[in-house]
Structure 1
């Protein structure tokens, strides 16, 4: 705890909220903290609370607003946050997000875009964690939305108060506080905020969930009761993840960047554990931020009864001699390129004599010109999707194919570590 206890006890109705901010990072308090502020009531309340905490603790805090440009008012709202930050003596930056062409699910695209922009901003500014203004109401609305999508344990589980995304730590200090409590706080402090009109737009599921939640109170279904159920599901999810890791240690073998496991696991393991193990494998190999949705247990065995190969979720699944091998699909990475000193495909780090005129690309069909690639023991599709070092169109090195020992390719986080962090 950073706040003086005696001072905190003198803050009356504000004490609970201030303590929530004070204890959010627990023992992981970074040197600098970022606070995401949209201009809405939840994030403005968080900003004001963090500013008071900053005055008492002297801890550096920087605010950030993403101007999504989806409404004409968005820039003036960002300017309003900037004025509030100046009044609170808090540094503030505005980031611009451009909606990608053809983005079908615009709210989801905007959310992912905000996270990516803020993560890059935090890394550039030396910020070790960003706090978000999500409340218990957000958790309840998420639950109802996901229930409508027939989500399972993972989808219905309580949102994490501390999580990692895009290489940055994110925290929700107010995840157990209500939206109404934050509005009452702002009224006590005489602080204004703006309401996003999209919150009342019936085209969005969140609006519908927000509107229907009060009508469920007669059944005893409230934000608090949903939160209790979501918490129980989160505990169940953690237990399932624990046993998935244990079974993966026994049944999954990592070979290069591939994962190999038996077509029929003996002795049998629970179907949901097997499903989780498979989803984790696909997510790890594809470098996707989320696992595939609604994947049934035994899906590969069922769908590959008469197939030796199948592409799924950016991966290639090969079946041979009673085993499944999951590798990266070449078509998913054939156009992926970058500098040799940067992580490639979110998985591979190249070690060797870096130079500005070199780049990393998939090896592709050039595996055919390497006479010793078979000695590696890795299948041709695995090597085709593996990282190689190029100078223009000249192949310089292909570490997994055993070409040019000056270079090596290392997995950033192996499968076991990935399962631990997810």
Structure 2
């Protein structure tokens, strides 16, 4: 099967296909650095919008990361192009002290935070980025080298949410040479960021290795097709894991989980790992959802009957009990401090519970339940409590100023309080 070709960018039909994922959006943001890829995205989006009877409002965001003196002029160039095209544009700057380590990652997160804040002020709800076919190929190679599973090897998704920003990547099927040609044809001279050729960065080293890999048949289109197929395989595993989760996982009001051992052990390893990873993610407060190796090793220990009496992983305590895998939140691991529950407000507690104050009360506080004797819990709940001690100790409890208990874990004893366990 040959690599799937992207849309023909020279035709109106091709433009419609390229931006189909955001068709109907009233306002669209574009992240434009001034490089060839993002300038091409701007040109293509402007042409697409101009072809519509009811075009969306386009708004460009260009960020000076404060890392190179040339960046300010590059932002000014982008804003000049916007003005010539009749597109609104905003220049932003990342101020403050920059980290010595993992600078590119920090810059990426700062970029989305700053652009996201600007989008919110402008009423823009989706951001287009210029990630293209070779970016996708480099991402696959990096993740392969880091030991990613199928979920990671599907590469960048066309739609994502990063730092709260809804992101759409329309150019993932488009080779960078095609984008450079669009910019040259428009008479624009793109900015050249020296960090894009600095071998200090891992992505650049993979980029520099691509020509040699292409000679062996591992070129960008082939890697992009591989990512597409991994996406299909990931979707199939996710579907099976969803069914397995529904059939064999029970979550209680303290946020603990039980997985039926016999059916779990009979699952395909990839599906079982996905089920187990989701449970650890929910119970452990979503600490490291992509720590695949740890989850794989835990699954193997479970099916080999080689699990210690109790083991801790990803913020959870895991043990085998009564023909089930019992998973509870690990005490003392990044548990939240006491938090005031604002009037008519809500908070997400330990990334596990949503607690809602449906009243105007100002004296309500959510905290860790810590040590509560089971007999007292059973008085509150009116039933026998069999949850692991760790789950009880790490559940949230809401009290008023007089010390009255309004809720515990997922149970509410007062109509003013609603508690929801977060399972997605």
Distance in structure 2 (CA, Å) of the matches to 1:180 and 1:261: 50
Q: 1:139-154 to 2 correspondence within 5 Å?
A: 139-154=136-151
Number of equivalent positions = 402
Question: SS where residue 133 of structure 1 aligns?
Answer: coil
- Report if aligned partners of 1:259, 1:281 keep a CA contact under 8 Å in 2: yes
Gaps spanning 5+ residues in structure 1: where? Answer: 1-10
Distance in structure 1 (CA, Å) of the matches to 2:175 and 2:258: 46
Corresponding residue of 2:220: 223
Offset of residue 259 of structure 1:
2.4
Corresponding residue of 1:365: 370
Offset of residue 312 of structure 1:
2.0
In the superposition, the TM-score normalised over structure 2's length comes to 0.81
Offset of residue 373 of structure 1:
5.8
Distance in structure 1 (CA, Å) of the matches to 2:260 and 2:100: 39
Corresponding residue of 1:3: none
Offset of residue 249 of structure 1:
1.3
Corresponding residue of 1:273: 271
Q: Cα deviations across residues 255-288 of structure 1 (Å, max 9, x unaligned)?
A: 2333221344366111121111111222233235
Within the alignment, does 1:107 sit opposite 2:104 as a pair? yes
Aligned CA distance change for structure 1 residues 166 and 386 (closer, same or farther; 3 Å)? farther
Q: Cα deviations across residues 57-83 of structure 1 (Å, max 9, x unaligned)?
A: 331122223433333333333333333
Offset of residue 46 of structure 1:
0.8
Aligned CA distance change for structure 1 residues 258 and 201 (closer, same or farther; 3 Å)? same
- Report if aligned partners of 1:275, 1:298 keep a CA contact under 8 Å in 2: no
Deviates more, 1:225-234 or 1:13-22: 13-22
Q: Cα deviations across residues 338-385 of structure 1 (Å, max 9, x unaligned)?
A: 654244144432233445845764324364699336754344432433
Corresponding residue of 1:91: 88
Offset of residue 253 of structure 1:
1.2
Distance in structure 1 (CA, Å) of the matches to 2:378 and 2:400: 20
Offset of residue 181 of structure 1:
0.7
- Report if aligned partners of 1:132, 1:170 keep a CA contact under 8 Å in 2: yes
Deviates more, 1:253-262 or 1:284-293: 284-293
Offset of residue 42 of structure 1:
1.1
Within the alignment, does 1:400 sit opposite 2:409 as a pair? yes
Offset of residue 393 of structure 1:
10
Question: SS where residue 372 of structure 1 aligns?
Answer: helix
Corresponding residue of 1:8: none
Within the alignment, does 1:314 sit opposite 2:315 as a pair? yes
Distance in structure 2 (CA, Å) of the matches to 1:238 and 1:128: 26
Distance in structure 2 (CA, Å) of the matches to 1:374 and 1:101: 54
- Report if aligned partners of 1:99, 1:109 keep a CA contact under 8 Å in 2: no
Within the alignment, does 1:51 sit opposite 2:51 as a pair? no
Aligned CA distance change for structure 1 residues 311 and 409 (closer, same or farther; 3 Å)? same
Deviates more, 1:189-198 or 1:369-378: 369-378
Aligned match of 1:38 in 29, 33, 36? 33
- Report if aligned partners of 1:358, 1:389 keep a CA contact under 8 Å in 2: no
Distance in structure 2 (CA, Å) of the matches to 1:218 and 1:193: 28
Offset of residue 12 of structure 1:
8.2
Aligned CA distance change for structure 1 residues 62 and 314 (closer, same or farther; 3 Å)? farther
Deviates more, 1:346-355 or 1:41-50: 346-355
Within the alignment, does 1:241 sit opposite 2:241 as a pair? no
Offset of residue 233 of structure 1:
1.6
Please tell me the root mean square deviation across aligned C-alpha atoms, in Å. 3.4
Aligned CA distance change for structure 1 residues 367 and 209 (closer, same or farther; 3 Å)? same
Offset of residue 294 of structure 1:
2.2
Offset of residue 231 of structure 1:
1.6
Corresponding residue of 1:334: 336
Deviates more, 1:399-408 or 1:139-148: 399-408
Gaps spanning 5+ residues in structure 2: where? Answer: 1-7
